[in-house]
Amino acid sequence: MVDELEALYRERLPEFTRAAAAIAGDPEAGRDAVQDAFAKALRKRRRFRGEGSLEAWVWRIVVNAARDAGRRRRRRVAAPVPVEARAQELGLPLELLTERQREVLFLHYFADLDYTTIALGLGISTGTVGATLSAARETLRGALTKEAC
């Protein structure tokens, strides 16, 4: 199990880091969340019962760690977090999305996860993943089209 966790870490670190950074809203906080999440996965490895993939189980821990890191960061600093500031620069209206829509979008886009892994990672159904992703894209598309007109 330790070997499998280490292999997953080495193989998928770029995806974990990028998605965690997006969810936390800050690249440094995202990196930190990934490190903490894998440390937690190591400590709790016996709790993994093989229901779903190991990767999905780890994603759930990473998402929770990134969420917590983001909330801590936002409580400490009043200014927009780096990812939100970058979104504003790019004209990407992330503020129109709910937290869940952002998470589904980030996991799909930055980690290239399938619906099942996203569902297991976020603790929602695969149907909800599809619907949430469509709604998020529709919202962003609509806002960008309106801006372009």
Partner 1 sequence: MDAYLDGLLDELVTAEPREAWADVLHRARRSRRRYMALAALVGALVLAPAAWAAVNAFEGTPAPPAISQDFTQLNTMADLAVQQGIAAKWPHADVSKAHGVIEIQTADGPEDVWTAPSDEGGQCYFIDWANDPPEQDGSQYGFGGCPPAIPPASNISWGAAWIAGHPDLVTVDGNVYVDASTVQVTLDDGSTVTLPLVEHVFLGSLPKGSVVDKVTAFDAAGNVVARATAAAG
Q: Which residues sit at the interface with partner 1, rule CB under 8 A?
A: 1-3, 6, 9-10, 13-14, 16-18, 20-22, 27, 30-31, 35-36, 38-40, 42-43, 45-46, 83, 86-87, 90-92, 105, 109-110, 137, 140-141, 144-145
Rounded Cα–Cα distance for residues 105 and 18 (Å): 12
Q: Rounded to the nearest whole angstrom, what is the least distance from the CB of residue 56 to partner 1 in the complex?
A: 19
Q: Rounded to the nearest whole angstrom, what is the least distance from the CB of residue 148 to partner 1 in the complex?
A: 9
Distances (CA, A) of 110 to 1, 12, 16, 64, 79: 26, 11, 8, 16, 24
Q: Rounded to the nearest whole angstrom, what is the least distance from the CB of residue 3 to partner 1 in the complex?
A: 8
Going by the DSSP 8-state scheme, the letter that residue 91 receives in this structure is T
Check if the beta carbon of residue 108 is closer than 8 Å to that of residue 118: yes
